Structure 1
Amino acid sequence: MTSLPNLSSIVLPDLPKPGEAVCWDGLYGASKWIALAEAAQNVKKPFLLLLPDIRSVEAVSQDLSFFSPNLKLHVFPDWETLAYDRFSPYQDIVSERLHTLSTISHLTDGIIITSIQTALHRLLPKDWLIKTTFSLSCGQKIQREGFRARLSESGYISVSQVSAPGEFAVRGSLMDVFPVGAKLPLRIDLFDDEIDTLRVFDSETQRTTGEVENITILPAREFPTDQRGIMEFRRSWREHFSSGYQGSTIYQDVSEGLAPAGIEYYLPLFHEETNILADYIPPDCVVIFDESIEIAADKFRLSVDERYEALRHDTARPILATKDIFAEFKELQSSLQTLACVYLSGTSNGDSPAKFNTVVPVNVPVDARSEDPFIAIKHHLSRMNGRLLFLADSLGRREALLDLFRDQIFSPVVFAGWREFLGADERYGIAVASLENGAELIEPRLSILTESQLFGRRTEERRRRKRSRTSHESIIRNLTELNVNSPVVHEDYGVGRYLGLEVLTVGDIQNEFIKIEYRDGDKLYIPVGSLDLISRYSGSDPEHAPLHKLGTDQWEKARRKAGEKIRDVAAELLEIHAKRALRRGHSFVIDEDAYNSFVHSFPFEETVDQANAVDAVLKDMQNPQP
């Protein structure tokens, strides 16, 4: 192994001073993320990276992690809603946003990554976030009722069992809190009025995973929900909409202490003033503007203005002016001008003082129909006369490429990552990284080839969150998806009609319950925390859905009858399978070379279901049994 080569030839040695702005041009493809990763790794300062769209945030985060695995990345996520939407962002997104905001003010290194669309949102005041954040530590004395009231005022929801950030539960001397920004909930064990232990636990198994000495509790929402916050909202609402509050459900819900869906777009009404992201950034931060950032900001503002014009005539739900919710790009730029600013560019500008030894990455397509499918790669190697790193999208794709290149002069050696390849002597390497673009470095002479350069740009399938066992069509993700009088199905009680939410006091604890009406007017109250027990009614005619009777075995009979039908179908399928197993059919032989050529020439990325179907078909064709 050799020492890592000097990459100063592609990284600007001296960053601009505070108040200065420079352009880094001549950075093509992924080379700009190599340059940024090297700068952030070698200079102990925080960086703010502004990208032109929300989709790029995850992709660039992966690129930076590949080029510098130890680099601290702080992603400030978007709400992932349209302007003036009537839907609220997911609580885990709000949790991550608040955690990031509370962290970035004190950063000494690492990179804050966000999109320009997210950066233009007006935010909760920094002072309010600091004031509403508090800490707990072992040995600290707390008043149980006062602590519960403080959590409620901070936007935390009282439930029977915590499962998501922003929830708490009280059971005797135990208090469970899922702090915003935390990965796991916390169990507070009280001895009288003193904190005896603070234990982190798994919300699914309820098993303790460790103990901590102290913990920070952030507010659960980006706006206050205490009486003072509600009073400020009411005052500001009347000031902005002088004649539009008496019949507004938004105004009435907030007045009653509720947080209606889409309330985030009224955030300025809860605070006397708002901040923008620049107000949270440390004074020694280096701001990196990706190319085309101003064009992206203008397009975003245009789309916001169009949404405003389409929705501003709804007198039952008046909306704030765009300037109250979003900042102009010039305002953001002006607020950052006291910091060191760098503008990235993929074009070469002769007047720029920062020059980088990179060239435009080229496509080197593998042509399966050619006599020599790898002729483009060989020509590329002869021209560059340097080292080459192939990047596969996944471990499975890496193995396919290794098999494809096995007998070639450029057969690569497997490396764990970029740093391992730089420190090795082998000329050809391969690693796993889903980069969108490759890179061509002049000194040291090095080429990075991605799968899109080899096989053409494929449609990307994003990784999705793990799904539960229940069908995604039937599970109710959010109460806002339900309309009053919609038929729903409870796992244990059958079909009823959803009547909305109702606050009930049980054992001196106020909780929100889902109200469901069954036959003969019987009512069932389900804690909001048990939402997973309820699913949509999937019958053909929701208007005439049959309601079941509580206290009878009607639902149990229906389930038992359905189970009997399932068993009958299963027995029939087993019989068919047994007959099929006794017969012999034709077993096809797969031509691996021809099949691999076909796969590599296919211009799209298969979905998970498509890949499984292809594997099943191939297996069936090679199976001697029909």
Structure 2
Amino acid sequence: MSLTKRMTHQRRTSVRLPPGAKPLFIAALWKHLKRPFLIVTSSGDESRKLSEQIGTYLENDSYVSIFTETNLTPYERLWADNSTSNDRLTVLTSLMSPDHKYPPLIVTSIEGLTFKTISKTVLKKHSMKLAKDATIRATDVQEQWARMGYRKDDSVQIPGTFSQRGGILDIFPSNLRLPVRVELLGNKIDVLNNFDPSTQRSINSVESVLISPALEILPLESSPQRIDSYISDMDFKRCSTFTKSRVMEDITEIFSGNTQSQAYLYNGLINTESILNHLYDNHIVIFDNETHISLSGNSLDLRNEKLKLDREIRGDIPENFPDPYFKWNTLIKDLSSYQQIDLGSLSATASNMGFRSTPEFISRTDDLSHAISESVEKDSLTIMVTRSPRRIQEILTDHSIPNIIDTYPNDLLDKRAVHIIAGSLHQGWRFGSDKNKTMLLTDLELFGITRQPTYQKRKKFKKALIPMELHTGDYIVHENHGIAKFTGTANMETNGEIREYVVLEYAENDKLYLPTDHLDLISAYLSNSDTPPRLSRLHTADWSRAKARVKASTQKMAKELLDLYAEREISQGHSFSQDTVWQEELESS
């Protein structure tokens, strides 16, 4: 019985696929069923790697989205960076307006799944659709944007901000890659454009846009009765007077709408739903490997419980403090209401769907050529995806094996030759049936290496600081958060491992715990003045605006230099006569 037929009779299906075949299987099944997928992995790295590989097998990798984890240690005064919050909101907003031709294909990890998020009701209430020729009032729209968490600024350069210049409204939605310009004619939307935030110039016209809230946490939408109930349940018997006062001041500030800097600490007080509350009834939940996921989920629950207990004993938080995460065992019950597929079943009866792992040929070119020759003789299709296509072609040609280098083959019916594709996949696979036999090899099987994932955005061109080179009180500059003071290091448990963090102090005594493997993000603060610098404020646009001003100044200077050298290039110069024999003799003497 085929998988699709089994799925019509069973609520749960288990298969046993080799790792390299999983992304192909998911991509093919998604295209065939045309149903929304939620794919769950055991870690954030696994979810990013899997989503990248699924996108490789689809004609457009934008069909795949990641519901990222926040990477926040619970019960600490930390916050998610804006890009993480924007990515999560983009996924949730996409679930509000489904594309029936391309249903949602979402990959998430245990931590992304369990972290509480904005409710479906609040998300819908605070999302706004703008369309050309629609009638709006500028004052009403701006008030609504403010309630959605957007900040008014002089100009729009970063997500989560808006501005007004006469009859023109600019906004950078958290769920979009480019900001939007709304030009009004009276109260009518006359022009709706995307624009470049660096040049402020319009790029293209759009018919409509859906604007999500700017923040995943909107305290003012919480039920006052529920908040009062949570607060009354908190037990401060182990807390100092200062800690109790600070917690109550935080809550007062957050729920008055004056600050967002500590909102993530109180996420459990505000948000009560997970992404599962946003899914459709016909969603299919796919587990990369349910056994590994369950182990990771249980480990995450134990870690969070230990962190909470430690902080309660130290008096850092009151007892009965609301949890920012759902327990994995709780979500398992919620997941059971959806149709499920486990791709990594350990059951001996689970089908491998015809897929098998590929052998490795590291530094064994003779064995490789023999295996490929045998595959070609058996009328099997052989594909090689590699970053070294010319090298592979040379090896095959030396062994008299026909081969073709394809950029992206649309027709792989020619089984007489090996198809070499310039690219990268993490792992290969073999597929065998009576009518179709295929073997795909990657750099892992050919050379024992695989590329670094492209989702790593950090560029490590500069030398990273070493904690031993830092002294307490030194000023540093964080690439994303600005100027801070180094106050020391700390060890904390994350995902069952003890990790070392650099502790940075910002304005208003806010602290950032930076993992030591991310030290490339900070550099020493350098200045000709002995005057101490002003510390940056976290969770504000101050540092982004400062960087934008420097970028604009640099671009202006670059333009002036280009104009100067262009003018020199076209200006009439003075032509000197050729060197004489005497001058040549003088130069050579």
TM interval, short-chain normalised: 0.7 to 0.9
Q: Which position in structure 1 is the counterpart of 2:266?
A: 266
Distance in 2 of aligned mates of 1:260 and 1:425 = 60
> How much has 1:302 moved relative to structure 2?
2.6
Matched position secondary structure for 2:440: strand
Query: What whole-Å deviation, never above 9, does each CA across 1:209-234 have from its counterpart, x for those lacking one?
Result: 112232222111112254x5496786
1:30 alignment partner, SS class: helix
Q: Distance in 1 between matches of 2:301 and 2:158?
A: 33
**Map of 1:587 onto structure 2:** none
1:254 Cα deviation after fit: 1.6
Residue 344 (structure 1) aligned with residue 360 (structure 2): no
Higher alpha-carbon deviation: 212-221 or 136-145: 136-145
Does the 8 A contact of 2:38 with 2:106 survive in 1? yes
- Structure 2: gaps (5+ residues): 237-242, 465-475, 485-503, 510-522, 552-589
How many residues align? The count is 489
Deviation digits for residues 260-319 of structure 1 (CA, Å, limit 9, x no counterpart): 445224223225xx2222221111122211212212222222332333233334545558
1:381 aligns with 2:372: yes
State whether structure 2 residue 48 is matched by structure 1 residue 51: no
- Any residues of structure 2 matched to 1:434-583 within 5 Å, and which? 434-443=424-433, 444-457=436-449, 460=452, 463-465=455-457, 474=477, 476-478=479-481, 483-484=506-507, 496-498=532-534, 529-531=545-547
The residue number in structure 1 matching 2:139 is 145
Show the counterpart of 2:310. 310
| SS of corresponding position for 2:90 | helix
Deviation at 1:347, TM superposition (A): 4.9
Distance in 2 of aligned mates of 1:501 and 1:52? 34
1:80 Cα shift?
A: 3.0
Is the 1:364–1:380 Cα contact (8 Å) retained in structure 2? Answer: no
Please say if residues 85 and 262 of structure 1, whose CA atoms lie closer than 8 Å, have aligned partners that are also in contact.
Answer: no
Partners of 1:236 and 1:269 within 8 A in 2: no
Q: 1:343: Cα distance to partner?
A: 1.3
Question: Of 403, 416, 420, which aligns to 1:430?
Answer: 420
Deviation at 1:165, TM superposition (A): 1.5
1:335 aligns with 2:334: yes
Distance 2:529 2:225 in 1: 43
- Equivalent residue, structure 2, for 1:41: 31
Letter in 1 for 2:480: R
* Corresponding residue SS for 1:247: helix
Displacement of 1:104 in angstroms is 2.5
> Is this contact kept in 2: 1:437–1:450, CA < 8 A?
yes
Name the CA shift for 1:494/1:125 in 2 (closer, same or farther; >3 Å). Answer: same
- SS in structure 2 at match of 1:220: coil
2:92 and 2:278 in contact (8 A); partners too: yes
Q: How does 1:86-105 map to 2 (within 5 A)?
A: 86-104=77-95
Structure 1 position 83, deviation (Å): 3.1
Equivalent residues of 2:51, 2:65 under 8 A apart: no
* Alpha carbons 1:413, 1:426 under 8 Å: kept: no
User: Counterpart of 1:361?
Assistant: 358
Shift of 1:497: 2.6
Could you tell me which amino acid in structure 2 is paired with residue 498 of structure 1? R
CA distance in 2, matches of 1:492, 1:194: 53
Q: 1:501 to 1:115 in 2, by over 3 A?
A: closer
User: Is the partner of 1:325 in helix, strand or coil?
Assistant: coil
State the partner residue of 2:111: 117
Q: What RMSD, in angstroms, separates the aligned Cα atoms of the two structures?
A: 3.7
Q: Deviations over 1:180-232 (max 9, x none)?
A: 21111011223344333222100011111112232222111112254x54967
TM-score by length of 1: 0.69
CA contact (8 A) 2:79 2:261 kept: yes
Which residue of 2 is the match for residue 614 of structure 1?
none
Kept in 2, the 8 Å contact 1:154–1:225? The answer is no
Q: 2:228 aligns to what?
A: 235
For 2:320 and 2:391, how far apart are their aligned partners in 1?
54
1:244-263 mapped onto 2 (5 Å cutoff): 245-248=244-247, 250-255=250-255, 257-263=257-263
TM-score, scaled relative to structure 2: 0.73
Check whether the contact 1:48–1:288 (CA below 8 A) recurs between aligned residues. Answer: yes
Work out whether residues 421 and 429 of structure 1, in 8 Å CA contact, stay in contact via their aligned partners in 2.
Answer: no
Q: Take 1:468 and 1:121, find their aligned partners in 2: how far apart are those partners?
A: 30
Which secondary structure state, in structure 2, belongs to the residue aligned with residue 342 of structure 1?
strand
The range that moved more, 99-108 or 33-42, is 99-108
Give the aligned residue type for 1:344.
L
The change in CA–CA distance for 1:86 and 1:485 in structure 2 (over 3 A counts) is: closer
Moved more, 158-167 or 297-306: 297-306
Whether the 8 Å contact between 2:507 and 2:537 is mirrored in structure 1 is: no
Taking the aligned partners of 1:528 and 1:32, their CA distance within structure 2 comes to 40
Partner of 1:130: 124
Letter in 2 for 1:125: S
* Cα contact 1:186–1:198 (8 A) shared by 2: yes
**3-state SS of 1:14 partner:** helix
Do the aligned residues in 2 keep the contact of 1:415 with 1:421 (CA within 8 Å)?
no
Offset at residue 150 of structure 1 (A): 1.8
Aligned equivalents of 2:329, 2:194: Cα separation in 1: 45
Q: Verify the 8 A CA contact 1:475 1:534 in the aligned structure 2.
A: no
Amino acid at match of 2:270: F
Please list every run of 5 or more consecutive structure 1 residues that lacks an aligned counterpart in the other structure.
Answer: 1-8, 368-373, 503-510, 515-526, 536-626
The code of the aligned residue for 1:204 comes to S
C-alpha spacing 1:461/1:343, structure 2 compared with 1 (3 Å): closer
Identity of aligned residues (%): 17
Distance in 2 of aligned mates of 1:188 and 1:147: 11
Q: Does 1:281 align with 2:279?
A: yes
Is contact 1:199-1:209 (8 Å) kept?
A: yes
Q: Secondary structure of the residue that 1:135 maps to in structure 2?
A: strand
Evaluate the alpha carbon distance shift between residue 301 and residue 383 of structure 1 in structure 2; reply closer, same or farther with a 3 A threshold. Answer: farther
Comparing 159-168 with 84-93, greater Cα deviation is found at 84-93
Report the Cα distance in structure 2 between the residues aligned to 1:471 and 1:252, rounded to whole angstroms. 43
User: Any conservation in 2 of the 1:24–1:343 contact (CA below 8 Å)?
Assistant: yes
Shift of 1:21: 0.8
1:179-258 alignment runs, 5 A limit:
179-226=173-220, 229=222, 235=228, 238-241=231-234, 243=236, 245-248=244-247, 250-255=250-255, 257-258=257-258
Alignment partner of 1:283: what SS?
Answer: coil
2:19 is aligned with 1:29 = yes
Q: Whole-Å Cα distance in 1 between the matches of residues 527 and 147 of structure 2?
A: 34
Residues of 2 paired with 1:47 and 1:406: CA distance?
A: 43
Mapped to 2, the partners of 1:170 and 1:124 lie a distance apart of 28
CA offset digits 1:556-599 (Å, max 9, x no partner): xxxxxxxxxxxxxxxxxxxxxxxxxxxxxxxxxxxxxxxxxxxx
- 1-structure distance, mates of 2:357, 2:78: 43
Distance 1:222 1:463, change over 3 A: closer
The code of the aligned residue for 1:356 comes to M
